Amino acid sequence: MQDAFDWHQEAQSQWDNRAEFWSARSMDMWDNGSRKAIVPFIQSHLNKGSSILDVGCGDGYGSYKLHQSGFHVTGVDISGEMIRRASEKPGQAVISFLQGDIINLPIDDNSQDSIMAINVIEWTESPEKALKELGRVLKKGGLLFTGILGPTAGPRMNSYPRLHEEKAICHTIMPWEFQQLASENNFMYADGFGVYKQDVKERHYKDLPLDLQQALTFMWVFMLRKAGE
């Protein structure tokens, strides 16, 4: 009899195995690649000295950039190997890194001024449970900065096995679907921007409605505000 598929156990195992590959690429992604505009975007909206939880922190380089920007950072990742690498990287010892799942975070209720979760919600079994858990740890009025892969993102191929009725640990949730789900779970859209592939120029999307702008993206970065309760 085939063992039951445990999405989160499988995700932990796969990200443990990808840790070396990810760590070799993360610095360039944050400094020069698809994530380079995220920390400046956060800086423009979040006061220095604010607490920020980096969910899906990987090897911690994004957390480190937030720390350099003057924020109080805690990094969480499902992968124990990622957390080990994050904790051992030079300069990152001042940051608290914890192993934890986005649907069961080792963080107190209403304790964080803000959260950063970049390309994480696509990799969890229940995006709605993930949103509810992020809402649990975020203060009322707090900000959630999250990146959701768009239709043009290559990493979406990780969900392809579903077409063969095989199990995969990647969802096909689209930015406009996530925006609707967020609105149903006590989050208000406040701002955002698209990350596009090189061949997509501003003239191609600047006059389009938001959902069509999102349809051309590699990733849409959201700023959501937790509504009052």
User: Domain-by-domain residue ranges, the chain?
Assistant: 7-226
Task: Answer whether residue 41 shows pLDDT above 60.
Answer: yes
Give the pLDDT of residue 2.
46
Is residue 121 within 8 A of residue 185, CB to CB? The reply is no
DSSP letter at 227 equals P
**Residue 3: per-residue pLDDT:** 62
- Burial 102-124, CB ≥16 within 10 A → b, else e: bbebebeeeebbbbbbbbbbbbb
Tokens of 194: 């698209």
pLDDT score at 1: 37
Is the pLDDT assigned to residue 229 strictly greater than 80?
no
Q: What is the mean pLDDT of the chain?
A: 95
pLDDT in tens, 107-158: 999 999 999 999 999 999 999 999 999 999 999 999 999 999 999 999 999 9
**Which has the closest alpha carbon to 102: 134, 63, 65, 68?**
134
- Render pLDDT for 153-179 as a digit per residue (tens, 0 to 9): 999 999 999 999 999 999 999 999 999
Which pair of structure tokens corresponds to residue 111? 């304790």
Task: Give pLDDT, residue 90.
Answer: 87
Phi, psi (deg, nearest 5) at residue 216: -100, 0
* pTM given for the model: 0.95
Q: What would the pLDDT profile of 72-104 be if each residue is shown by its tens digit?
A: 999 999 999 999 999 999 889 899 999 999 999
Q: Which residues pair with 127 in a beta bridge?
A: none
Per-residue 3-state assignment (H helix, E strand, C coil) for 186-216: CEEEEEEEEECCCCCCHHHHCCCCHHHHHHC
| 3-state percent helix, strand, coil for the chain, nearest multiple of 5 | 40, 25, 35
Per-residue pLDDT at 91: 87
Written out in words, the top-level CATH class of the domain with range 7-226 is alpha beta
- Could you tell me if 147 and 121 are in contact, meaning their C-beta atoms sit under 8 angstroms apart? no
Token pair recorded at residue 118: 């970049």
pLDDT at 84: 96
Q: Name the pLDDT band for 4 (thresholds 50, 70, 90).
A: confident
Please give the distance of CA 165 from its chain centroid, rounded to a whole number.
Answer: 27
